[in-house]
Structure 1
Amino acid sequence: WALLPVLGAASCIAAGPQGVLNRYLLSNPLMVGIGLISYPLYLWHWPLLSYARIVQGAAPSAALSAAMVAASVALAWLTYRTVERAVRVRTGPATLRVLGGSAIAVIAVAVAVQLGLPAPRHDDPMLQTLSNASSDGEYYAGLASETLDGNFVRRAGEGARKVLVIGDSHISQYAPRARALAQRSPETMSTTYFFEYPACAPVPGMMVPINPGCAPRRAQMLEAAFDPKIDAVVVGACWNCYFTGNFYMPYVFEDGTSVLPINDGGPGIEPALASLQKLLGELARHKKVYLLLDNPMGSDFEPGRMISGSRLGTLSVLAMAGTAVQPPGQARLNERLLAIAAASGAEPIDAAGRLCREGRCLRTMPDGGPAYLDNNHLRPAYIRDHASYVDTAFLAPAPPRAGN
């Protein structure tokens, strides 16, 4: 995409001053004025927009973004008038000394900051713990990239037993556990392929027009799942996203005769769950099948909820309870999925059953830091060290003892 403005600029230069665009548009006084302040505008706009995002902790609103752009233009004009023009006309030794001294001062400040001087204003160690959580998102780090029947997948382990994990990003989050098992127990770790597509439920008939890549990718997943060379299949997804709330993508269920909305308790939920049960049953007739249930999710699990205050004032980390209430709708869906697994012959992997006790669910690590990356994905650090509930799918069953 960067080639487009580059080629556009090259074309304007090649056209020369008599080119139509150059003669009538770019020579306009307003455009010339923008050109004069373009470099200081480039210098100012990025820090202003970046700091607006940092201070708000999220993408700034349209109004704030517009205000930052307006401030960038004003500061760029001021910089051009007071600094750039002055430097151009004052070329004597005094100007060189000021510029050289300024450069040395900037370097000195950078070195001091690198050495930890002055002490940071926000020095609560837990703030660093939270920062580590927000950047702990490389689920596929260390996994091999390869193709499975021409389809791009990630692989962990090299065992004789072959396991295929299909679904959306909620199956990707278990890749760190697979890699850890491959390192700790290579003799029992299965060859495990992760075959996923974001925001794409592995349920035949579930469609979403604004995610056109989902349907063909899911068809490839299911074709691979039925392949005889695959010994076991793990079917997982953000079930809570699709079936317990108003997901940000408008999912529907298509059965060939009707199109039923799924979002926000829509009538498509029941046929979609029936389609999932049918898929699991068909797979279970040919191989071992696991239904990976969803982890709890919601705003109470968001790491940012642990922070109080403002970057412009005082920041602190709240003394946060290690658990949060499991949303009732998610608990009911979990029970429904357990029943679907039982009816279809699939073995359930109950993440919530491990993470939750008596209606409250884990949201912190043993060190007090968050167990979640965001409001619905568990952190790689938690998955790697604590998500032993998925080991049953990744590790080959122990051989029977002699005489049994």
Structure 2
Amino acid sequence: MNLKTSSYSNLKYRSDIDGLRALAVLAVVAYHASPLQIKGGFIGVDIFFVISGFLISTVILQNMQNDSFSFLEFYSRRIKRIFPALFLVLVACFLFGWIGLYSDEYQQLGKHIVGGSGFLSNFLLWQESGYFDNSAESKPLLHLWSLGIEEQFYIICPFLLWFCWKQRLSPLIPILFLFVISFVLNLIGIHKDSVGAFFSPQTRFWELLIGVVLAYQKLYGFNIKPVLKLKTEINFPYVHSFISFLGLGLIVFGFLFISKERGFPGVWALFPTLGAAMIIGAGSQAWLNKNIFSNKILVWFGLISFPLYLWHWPVLSFIHTINNGNDASRMVRLLAVLSSILLAWLTYKLIEKPIRYAQKNKTTQLVFASIIVAFVGLITYKSEGYPFRTILAAKQKAWTDKPQVLSGYETSKIYHQVSVVKERDFYLSNVLNEKANIAVLGDSHANRLYWSLSDYKEMKLINIGRGTCPPLIDVEVFQNNGQSIGCQPLTNNYLHYVKEDSNIKLIIINAFYNQYRQGLILKANNKQISLEEALNNTLNYLCDSHKKIIVALDVPEVPSSCYQRNFPVWNIKFPPVCTTSKQQFDLQNKPLMKVLKSYPDVAVFNPGKTFCNEQCGEIDMHKYLYLRDGNHLNDFGLRKLSPSIHDFVRKELG
């Protein structure tokens, strides 16, 4: 390795630090590939922060000691270290997104490309949501938040050290002062804004400052005199080995006991950061560092740690996207990790290393390339993800959804003695300070109908129910394994509520009827009961109230396989299985219609008529993407259904 600039020749290479890098990156990769097994693996990033702070500040301090520090040289080396691999990954994500992402997903990717190019990803993600939220897996550049923190730190740190050096002041006091401020802000932020505490540079800088303090201590001890002199390194093998083992113990503790449920970083981040500092501070001759962390395999992973960190998350994220938001199998995730390792090695050998150590300075070209990538990302964002790319993207918002759950005090008033509100419960109302006169009852499909009606202000609505719980009296729902879902107490309570409430004039019943015929088991009084018999009992119960009742048939279904993402996107063909003939739809509803014929005063709303084509010979629910999956209406579907359900309800109300 020939470094032409003499100012960098004083930094002695430590293979054990590359081994520690390997531990950090492999922990992060393992966490992202299998978060349930490696719950604390994400703390590998905190280890990176300490390593980075130590190495970079060591270089700066040594160069200042030799009177050879140059800001231009420092930032030029940062650019050559970071930009080549980052540029490659951003371009690869953009190209894959063109082929495989819907327009809204591609638009978001464009925004994140801008953030990644400008090292501002942490601020973008701070505005959007959290690192651990459910949408995180749909963001292939999520992991660039940590790179943003590092580069923001290196805007401030070199100038602070340079200023202190020029003033012949020890930087130790201001470094420790900033460390305390940042750490306290981190502790406060965990309780006030946990997402901000995770992504904010102010609440993360203390982790890099641990590395700076360590670098200072290794060079000067804790000398705070104005004139700094290099200290002589004294080796205590047993003490250093003990410190190294203790540091590893802190890190392993973090892997085992830190999880996303804990407030992080907070005090929990002390385990990986202090652990990393102890291992580095113990020196290259400590037994653990010399015999384990200097192992050739670990060192190899350490050398490719940066490109591996860049590649692994986009690969896993895109696999999650291709799989329609479902978790991939273990074998697929393993192959994704192995592919990431191969890509990282190729990037290191063919891109990163040649550019980093090239005779000719390519800093200007790298900056220009980064600006172009950022500009392309910005155009992608402004153009709403180039919707012309695909039939789907032009018409779809298949995953656009309305809120389904509102838990709290209002819900408990309806559900009475049931004090714990489950996340599938919903009590929604479009009425403020008034009494509703229309009750929409049922599972998540009834919730869709509610949203179709909710924009009409004259409709005073409440929507009561629970996902996977049909609006049927005295009925409990069981899974195939015999486990109860717990519907009966809630359902009986709200059916009694709407029956007795004099303000409610109209009751609308709807459910995903097919799942209660196939897959789930209905029981009343510990005996299995058919959907039709249960509906008959429910109508008998409600008809005594002399309220108007509408039974809404379910929307036409298509197999969930119709919503699998196809490649290449521009050649998507809709297979015949994704169309439902009107004859099939009527046959599906025949058992229900047989029951409803016995109740002439009960009105029947058939949503299938809304989704017929011009000849009404077949219903193509997939072509126009009215469903978000195989059976739930999405935002387009709700708008499509809204006029017909509104007219039907208004007619029944008179």
Query: Is TM > 0.5 for Structure 1 vs Structure 2?
Result: yes
Which residue of structure 2 aligns with residue 228 of structure 1? 501
Q: Unpaired runs of 5+ in structure 1?
A: 259-267, 399-404
1:147 to 410, 430, 438: 410
2:513 pairs with 1:239: yes
Distance 2:578 2:316 in 1: 35
2:312 maps to a residue whose letter is H
8 Å CA contact 2:557–2:580 kept in 1: the answer is: no
1:2 maps to a residue whose letter is K
What is the SS of the residue equivalent to 2:438? strand
2:541 pairs with 1:276: no
Q: Where does 1:337-348 land on structure 2 (aligned, <5 Å)?
A: 337-343=592-598, 347-348=602-603
Q: How much has 1:237 moved relative to structure 2?
A: 0.4
Distance 1:192 1:88 in 2: 64
1:202 to 449, 471, 477: 471
Which residue of structure 2 aligns with residue 324 of structure 1? 580
Which residue of structure 1 aligns with residue 368 of structure 2? 101
2:271 pairs with 1:11: yes
Q: Where does 1:96-245 land on structure 2 (aligned, <5 Å)?
A: 96-111=363-378, 113=380, 123=388, 126-130=391-395, 132-138=396-402, 147=410, 150=413, 153-157=427-431, 162-182=437-457, 186=458, 189=459, 191-203=460-472, 204-208=474-478, 212=485, 214-215=487-488, 217-229=490-502, 230-243=504-517, 245=518
Q: How much has 1:213 moved relative to structure 2?
A: 5.6
1:310 to 546, 567, 572: 567
8 Å CA contact 2:397–2:635 kept in 1: the answer is: no
Change (3 A) 1:23 1:202: farther
Distance 2:581 2:309 in 1: 47
8 Å CA contact 1:293–1:348 kept in 2: the answer is: no
Asked which structure has the greater CA Rg, the reply is 2
Change (3 A) 1:352 1:96: closer
Distance 1:345 1:103 in 2: 70
1:206 maps to a residue whose letter is E
Distance 1:276 1:99 in 2: 68
8 Å CA contact 2:398–2:625 kept in 1: the answer is: no
Which residue of structure 2 aligns with residue 294 of structure 1? 554
Distance 1:52 1:238 in 2: 30
Which residue of structure 2 aligns with residue 262 of structure 1? none
Distance 2:621 2:325 in 1: 22
Change (3 A) 1:318 1:38: same
Distance 2:400 2:595 in 1: 33
Query: For structure 1, which segment, 68-77 or 9-18, has the greater mean C-alpha deviation from structure 2 after superposition?
Result: 9-18
Q: How much has 1:170 moved relative to structure 2?
A: 0.8
1:65 maps to a residue whose letter is R
Q: How much has 1:240 moved relative to structure 2?
A: 1.8
Q: How much has 1:28 moved relative to structure 2?
A: 8.6
What is the SS of the residue equivalent to 2:315? helix
Distance 2:365 2:611 in 1: 63
Q: How much has 1:350 moved relative to structure 2?
A: 3.1
Distance 1:235 1:349 in 2: 10
8 Å CA contact 2:440–2:450 kept in 1: the answer is: no
Change (3 A) 1:322 1:40: closer
Deviations 1:237-289 (CA, angstroms, capped at 9, x unpaired)? 0002221x3x3xxx22334445xxxxxxxxx453x432332122112111423
8 Å CA contact 2:439–2:508 kept in 1: the answer is: yes
Change (3 A) 1:235 1:127: closer
2:374 maps to a residue whose letter is I
Which residue of structure 1 aligns with residue 140 of structure 2? none
Structure with more of its chain in strand, by fraction:
1
Change (3 A) 1:72 1:124: closer
Distance 2:489 2:448 in 1: 22
Which residue of structure 2 aligns with residue 261 of structure 1? none
2:581 maps to a residue whose letter is V
Distance 1:55 1:148 in 2: 37
Aligned length: 361
Q: How much has 1:355 moved relative to structure 2?
A: 4.7
8 Å CA contact 1:291–1:347 kept in 2: the answer is: yes
2:322 pairs with 1:70: no
Which residue of structure 2 aligns with residue 363 of structure 1? 620
Distance 2:373 2:611 in 1: 52
- Indicate the percent of aligned positions where both proteins have the same amino acid: 19
Which residue of structure 1 aligns with residue 208 of structure 2? none
Q: How much has 1:162 moved relative to structure 2?
A: 1.5
Q: Unpaired runs of 5+ in structure 2?
A: 1-258, 280-286, 415-425
TM-score, length-normalised on structure 1? 0.69
Deviations 1:150-203 (CA, angstroms, capped at 9, x unpaired)? 355211356765222111111111133212322xxx2xx2x2111232222223
Distance 1:233 1:181 in 2: 17
Q: CA RMSD in A?
A: 4.7
Distance 1:96 1:213 in 2: 63
Distance 1:27 1:211 in 2: 52
8 Å CA contact 2:558–2:621 kept in 1: the answer is: no
Deviations 1:79-100 (CA, angstroms, capped at 9, x unpaired)? 456666678878x992643542
What is the SS of the residue equivalent to 2:456? helix
2:619 maps to a residue whose letter is L
2:501 maps to a residue whose letter is P
Distance 1:215 1:205 in 2: 5
1:311 maps to a residue whose letter is P
Change (3 A) 1:318 1:233: closer
Deviations 1:15-46 (CA, angstroms, capped at 9, x unpaired)? 5748xxx9699959566765665543332122
8 Å CA contact 1:363–1:371 kept in 2: the answer is: no
